[in-house]
Structure 1
Amino acid sequence: MEMPNDLPSANPVPTGYFRWEPDEDDVLICRAVREETHDVKSFIFAPRFQRQFDFISGQFLTLEFEIEGEIIHRCYTISSPPSRPDTVTITVKRVPGGPVSNWLHDYFRPGMMLKATVPMGDFSWAGMQAQKYLFLSGGSGITPLMSMTRSAYDLALVADIAFVHAARSPADIIFRDELEFMSRRNRSIQPIFTVENDAPGHGWSGYRGRLTRSMLDVICPDFLEREVFICGPRPFMVAARTLLEKAGLDMERYHQESFDFGDFTDQAQETITEAAEDLESDVKRHRVTFTKTDRVVYCPEDITVLEAARRAGMRLPFSCAKGLCGTCKSKIASGTVEMAHSGGIRQREIDKGMALLCCSRPTSDLVVER
């Protein structure tokens, strides 16, 4: 039997259906906040007017936050399934020092509103015809895989899903109750949890420690025959990929989220590897002035403004570095750039002088409102 396509367009369109279009109204209103664990909350959003969301499992939203007078953009993967199109949910872990995650946890309430872009991203099983899947997630990386699993459950898909989730402790297992409930109602969904530490008041008799080949052989003996989807902290994904490669998995079956959606603290940003700048290059350089920080850098025409700023030691927010997510969106107060984006900015924003620094190369001196 073939796996049904997860694309919403494959589902019957309800009478009176209107798709949410952020170009018409980009404001979402929070309908509910749910506590998933002691440091993880889900935020459920709906359009202000009668609209429905059109997305595929695994995609993300870029949300705009105004915190202490500063506009910040962050990407969050959608944890709800496209089979529930009236709302869209993000699930956020509190990050020490993270300005957005802490603000959401401490201050954001039902009835409050945020601006958002259209869902984007291509980390999804949409259109696949496989019958068996292995989902590997660590920490808050569970969100895109939860969207896929909820979709499978809602649509009663005949798909064998082995869902392995790694957490620090039993108290940190996100969506544990819901996954176990879905498993009882649909035996093709098999959640397995492994933890590294104990937690007060939480007994544990399941798997312990980090994922290993021997553990995977017991949990999912036929894992080499499955389509594998993985999302989690970068060290988790590196270790899992290495394990699967050594085990002989056909890497055509391996699907990994390509960038991190967490809060980008200074420490996290410093982990990005930067190329050494060739100061002897004959490429023309332009002066780039950042108004809010009163910094000046010189950017060669053959690299992006973001890259030049980071080489100069500036810590600018970014995520995908592909012109997709919109996190580095900034106002160009003067000057011109050549921008090759992938959908992370709308034409009306470009018309107002906005640009994505990660994919913008200067063609003149610039003044950037950052």
Structure 2
Amino acid sequence: MMDLIDLVQTLTSPHPLDRYLELVRPTLTARRLRAEVVHVRRSAPGSVTLTLRPTRQWRGHAAGQYVQLGVVVDGVRHTRCYSPVNPEARRDRHIQLTVKAHPGGLVSQYLYQHAAPGLVVDLAPAAGVFRLPEPRPERVLLISGGSGITPVLSMLRTLADEGYPGELTFLHYAKSPVHVPHRAELESIADTHKNFRVELRYPRRAAETVAQDRAPGCAEVSGGGYFDYDELERVAPWFADAHTYVCGPQALMDAVRKVFEAEQLEDRLHTEEFTLSVAPVDTSEVHGTVNFSASGVSAANSGASLLEQAESAGLSPAYGCRMGICFSCTAVRRTGCTRNLRTGETGSDPDQPIQLCINAPVGTVDIDI
């Protein structure tokens, strides 16, 4: 079959076969993975849940992984990363994404405002190492905050579908009950699986608005503090014997890491970042010129990431996550030195591929974009 596709691809040169097929139907593709939006739901303020029907190339995802979604906004194709919220091994092969419309988020705002059944998007195979192990641990603790709920919700749904027999607690932080996507399903899972516990926290709400349990295994608490050791002991006193999966705002991630490092349990903690935590910048490094040689554009080094500096210079390099996890923004560093914004490490070997979103120039550099 692939030999036949290769032959047809040669005959249709210079354009790929998929360029002609999409004129017949956007989801009729030989190689490119695409998906059609078949259902849209806006149940939580500021977020939208999309159900996608992918083309035959889709091979599924593991709970916790992410996909790259490509959409055309004002004639320009943009790619972003989102974690499916549906369980892995879904029988109908559909994908469900819950997208939070972030302020200034070009793609998330577009999807929130304009996504409708019939929209066709580009898709990349599922990727990422934030996933449940095989065999499943005897105890699992899931912690999330805000839009970080998506990968851990997929884990919760997967374990529920599998009839997971172990002990499980899901702890989620949100602004208020209406800001918890899929809240009714969380209550249903807690009610159906007696070994599951769902703990919802709304620290910003007044303490007198504490809600009663909506289901025997689901508790909601308003007011009070944020995550700390005492909270961990309350919701999962067995956490030292569990595997813990965390995704959320940086403050939550840092608080969880602090507890697990103090308990020397780092090997049992698994995290997924959706914000970039950067190492301190040495102001003496902010000098020189950034040359984007393939475009013939140069700009004074501002100290920001190469992705941000390229955009400020009027360029539009591809990217998906801005966090260094998807490698969509990789480009070649021809000459000069760059610093990894996450680790603080520098590199100066010529003609090396680097990620624009997590690297900043140290003095003058030449980047092939």
TM-score normalized by the length of structure 2: 0.70
* Deviation per residue, 1:154-173 (Å, 9 max, x gap): 12122221000011112212
Which structure has more relative contact order (CA 8 Å, sep 6+)? It is 1
* Deviation per residue, 1:56-107 (Å, 9 max, x gap): 1111011112111222211111111112151111111111221111110110
Answer yes or no: is 1:223 the counterpart of 2:225.
Answer: no
CA contact 2:81–2:320 (8 Å) conserved in 1: no
The alpha-carbon deviation at position 329 of structure 1 amounts to 6.1
Closer, same or farther in 2 for the Cα pair 1:33/1:186, shift >3 Å?
same
Secondary structure of 1:147's counterpart equals: helix
Q: How many residues align?
A: 306
Q: Which amino acid aligns with 1:319?
A: C
Closer, same or farther in 2 for the Cα pair 1:272/1:91, shift >3 Å?
farther
1:106 paired residue number = 113
Closer, same or farther in 2 for the Cα pair 1:181/1:260, shift >3 Å?
same
Alignment partner of 2:74 out of 68, 71, 92 = 68
**C-alpha separation in 2, matches of 1:361 and 1:271:** 11
Closer, same or farther in 2 for the Cα pair 1:273/1:34, shift >3 Å?
farther
Secondary structure of 2:150's counterpart equals: helix
User: How do residues 82-161 of structure 1 correspond to structure 2 at under 5 angstroms?
Assistant: 82-85=88-91, 86-161=93-168
2:221 paired residue number = 207
* Deviation per residue, 1:4-51 (Å, 9 max, x gap): xxxxxxxxxxxxxxxx9x981321111111223122221111124x56
User: How do residues 8-47 of structure 1 correspond to structure 2 at under 5 angstroms?
Assistant: 24-47=31-54
RMSD of Structure 2 on Structure 1 (CA):
3.9
The alpha-carbon deviation at position 110 of structure 1 amounts to 1.0
CA contact 1:75–1:327 (8 Å) conserved in 2: no
Alignment partner of 1:260 out of 261, 271, 274 = 274
Alignment partner of 2:248 out of 212, 217, 232 = 232
Closer, same or farther in 2 for the Cα pair 1:63/1:223, shift >3 Å?
same
**C-alpha separation in 1, matches of 2:67 and 2:328:** 11
1:185 paired residue number = 192
1:13 paired residue number = none
Mind listing any 5+ residue stretches in structure 1 that lack a counterpart?
1-19, 262-268, 300-305, 338-353
User: How do residues 242-281 of structure 1 correspond to structure 2 at under 5 angstroms?
Assistant: 242-246=258-262, 248-257=263-272, 259-260=273-274, 274=281, 276=283, 278=285
The alpha-carbon deviation at position 360 of structure 1 amounts to 10
Secondary structure of 1:102's counterpart equals: helix
Answer yes or no: is 1:167 the counterpart of 2:190.
Answer: no
Q: Which amino acid aligns with 1:66?
A: V
Closer, same or farther in 2 for the Cα pair 1:275/1:23, shift >3 Å?
farther
Mind listing any 5+ residue stretches in structure 2 that lack a counterpart?
1-26, 213-219, 336-352
**C-alpha separation in 1, matches of 2:177 and 2:204:** 8
User: How do residues 272-311 of structure 1 correspond to structure 2 at under 5 angstroms?
Assistant: 274=281, 276=283, 278=285, 287-289=291-293, 295-297=297-299, 307-308=305-306, 310=308
**C-alpha separation in 1, matches of 2:310 and 2:73:** 26
2:204 paired residue number = 197
Percent of aligned pairs with the same amino acid:
23
1:176 paired residue number = 183
**C-alpha separation in 2, matches of 1:51 and 1:319:** 23
**C-alpha separation in 2, matches of 1:312 and 1:35:** 35
1:319 paired residue number = 321
**C-alpha separation in 1, matches of 2:366 and 2:103:** 37
* Deviation per residue, 1:208-229 (Å, 9 max, x gap): 3312322222222222221111
